[in-house]
Amino acid sequence: MALEAVGSSLVSDGQQNTATLHQPANPVQKVNLLGMSRAELEKFFEDLGEKKFRAGQVMKWIHQYFVTDFAEMTNISGKLRDKLVQICEIKAPEVVHRNYSKDGTRKWVFRVGEGKGSLVETVLIPAEDKTGSRKTLCISSQVGCALDCSFCSTGKQGFQRDLTPAEIIGQLWMANFSYMEDVPVAERERSVTNVVMMGMGEPLLNYDAVLSSMRIMLDDFAYGMSKRRVTLSTSGVVPKIDQLAQDIDVALAISLHAPNDELRNELVPINKKYPLEQLITACQRYIAKDGNESARKHVTIEYVMLDGVNDQPEHAQQLLKLLKNLPSKINLIPFNPFPHAPYGRSSRNRIIAFQKTLSDAGFVCTIRQTRGDDIDAACGQLVGQVADRTRRAAQWQKKIAEKNEIIRSKG
């Protein structure tokens, strides 16, 4: 979703860089502790000649009390604190813009480098349901994306770079901190209940940094999130799905979007490398890996509804066949248009008919809620303030112009 498009419905505080965590400029590059997992922090303290348990203490200060000043870490000796101030820092990415909506939705734009293209967005969506109240944070893993799915504006920007673990976990840190800024340190709590890796980028193509960040999310010394409440979404990088199954237990969502290879090759080009059969069997292996306690009883299938493209009755039938041996829940996502997008959103009736076919066959099939200007669909499509300056974007514009020219000459 374009930030511009939601601007009118959100209350911006107009402040620039307000939540940036400032450390004095220092010619010596300090180590940023924000993105370190417990294992990495333990090693860090051991290398300093300190006890390993310092790692847990510092993690709690950072991720549970949102403290960035070592002087406030009262259970650490003055001598060690002095040492830490000299060599390290706790630094989240710079916030260049934030919007806090009256309906509770919050958005941040972070600057993660020089130039207009180095911005990423994070969105927090609150929801109330019968299980209680949730705050779901949609986190980015890369600046842009190399995979070029035809319906995704992030793909149209091309790939700029991977985010570091500090830049990834920093999004969660900042979202939690935003509720606790004015609360005394001892009373601070974590507010975000769920994380979905559905912002900019393909998380499995920034594997190590994403894994490290998700470990911090699950760690009881940090966010202590339930493994069912951390979801990684992928367009289908098959070998990395297998690696993920070995390394961590989190929920998996697959951006499927098409029920046959021909159509999926067009919509999700990575399908040419890892076709549907390989993808579905990788999902089956992912679920099979663990017992009942796992976050992996099913995968979530994401399916964007594109008018006249993948939303016909035969597509629903093909989907039923494709998923018949894969425990899955299906989430239909009304397409969120962006400037020059070559698709339209399926009609409400079409989406409901598609859903009915799947639910009648026994699948749990939901339709992603759209609120206001479709805040939810902000995940995965960050146009607007994020500059679109790559060569791919230029080629894309050219293609659209040519297509419009043909239509004009026919008309």
Instruction: Give residues in contact with ligand SF4 (CB under 6 A).
Output: 145, 147-149, 152, 154-155, 201-202, 235, 255, 380
Which one, 255 or 346, has the nearer CB to ligand SF4?
255
DSSP string, 354-372: HHHHHHHTT-EEEE----T
Among 105, 157, 235, 328, binds ligand SAH (CB under 6 A): 235
Q: Which helix (H) or strand (E) holds 97?
A: strand 94-101
Q: Rounded distance, CA 251 to CA 324, Å?
A: 20
42, 88, 89, 121: which one is catalytic?
Answer: 121
Q: Decide: is 333 part of the binding site for ligand SAH (CB under 6 A).
A: yes
354 interacts with ligand SAH by CB under 6 A: no
121 binds ligand SAH (CB under 6 A): no
Q: Whole-angstrom Cα distance, residue 283 to residue 304?
A: 19
* b/e sequence 162-201, b meaning 16+ C-beta within 10 Å: bbbbbbbbbbbbbbbbbbbeeeeeeebebebbbbbbbbbb
In the complex with ligand SF4, the residue whose CB is nearer, 32 or 235, is: 235
Judge whether 121 counts as a catalytic residue: yes
Q: Is 194 in the site for ligand SAH (CB under 6 A)?
A: no
Q: Which residues are annotated as a binding site?
A: 145, 149, 152, 201-202, 233, 255-257, 336
Is the CB of 164 or the CB of 300 nearer to ligand SAH? Answer: 300
State yes or no: is 379 an active-site residue: yes
Q: How many Cβ atoms sit within 10 Å of the Cβ of residue 87?
A: 14
Residue among 211, 180, 212, 286 nearest 37 (CA): 212
Angle in degrees, 0-180, between the axes of helices 54-63 and 38-47, rounded to the nearest 10: 130
Q: Which does 148 bind (CB under 5 to 8 A by kind): ligand SF4, ligand SAH, none?
A: ligand SF4
Burial grade of 328 (CB within 10 A; 0-12, 13-18, 19 or more): buried
CB atoms under 10 Å from CB of 3, counted, come to 21
The residue among 140 and 212 lying less far from ligand SAH, judged by its C-beta, is 140
Determine, following the binding rule CB under 6 A, whether residue 64 of this chain makes contact with ligand SAH. no
To the nearest whole angstrom, how small is the minimum distance from the Cβ of residue 267 to ligand SAH? 9
For the chain, what percentages of helix, strand and coil (3-state, to nearest 5) are there?
40, 20, 40
Residue with tokens 């900042």: 174
Of 313 and 344, CB closest to ligand SAH: 344
Nearest to 369 by CA among 179, 136, 148: 136
In eight-state DSSP terms, residue 347 is: P
**Contacted by 174, from ligand SAH, ligand SF4, none: CB < 5 to 8 Å by type:** none
Residue nearest to ligand SF4 (CB): 155
37 binds, options ligand SAH, ligand SF4, none, Cβ within 5 to 8 A by partner type: none
Footprint of ligand SAH on 379-398 (CB under 6 A): 379-381
CB of 150: closest distance to ligand SF4 in angstroms?
9
Residue closer to ligand SF4 by CB (options 194, 381) is 381
Judged by CB under 6 A, the number of residues near ligand SAH is 17
The least distance separating ligand SF4 from the CB of residue 238, rounded to whole angstroms, comes to 14
Measured distance CA(163)–CA(209) in Å, rounded: 7
Q: Does the protein bind ligand SAH through residue 76 (CB under 6 A)?
A: no
Smaller CB separation from ligand SAH, 37 or 233: 233
Interface region with ligand SAH, contact rule CB under 6 A, candidates 34-42, 92-100, 231-239, 349-357: 231-239
Q: Which residues pair with 255 in a beta bridge?
A: 302
Supply the DSSP string of 169-183, one letter for each residue. HHHHHHHHHHHHTTS
Give the residue, chosen from 255, 300, 310, 328, that forms a contact with ligand SAH under the rule CB under 6 A. Answer: 255
DSSP string, 215-262: HHHH-TTTT---GGGEEEEES--HHHHHHHHHH---EEEEE---SSHH
- Is position 166 an interface residue for ligand SAH (rule: CB under 6 A)? no
Residue 303 binds: one of ligand SAH, ligand SF4, none (C-beta under 5 to 8 A by kind): none
Among 64, 157, 231, 234, binds ligand SAH (CB under 6 A): 234
Among ligand SF4, ligand SAH, none, the one that 333 touches (CB under a kind-dependent 5 to 8 A) is ligand SAH
Residue type, 123: V
DSSP type of residue 14: -
Residues that bind ligand SAH (CB under 6 A): 151-152, 198, 202, 233-235, 255, 302, 304, 333, 335-336, 377, 379-381
The residues assigned a catalytic role are 121, 379
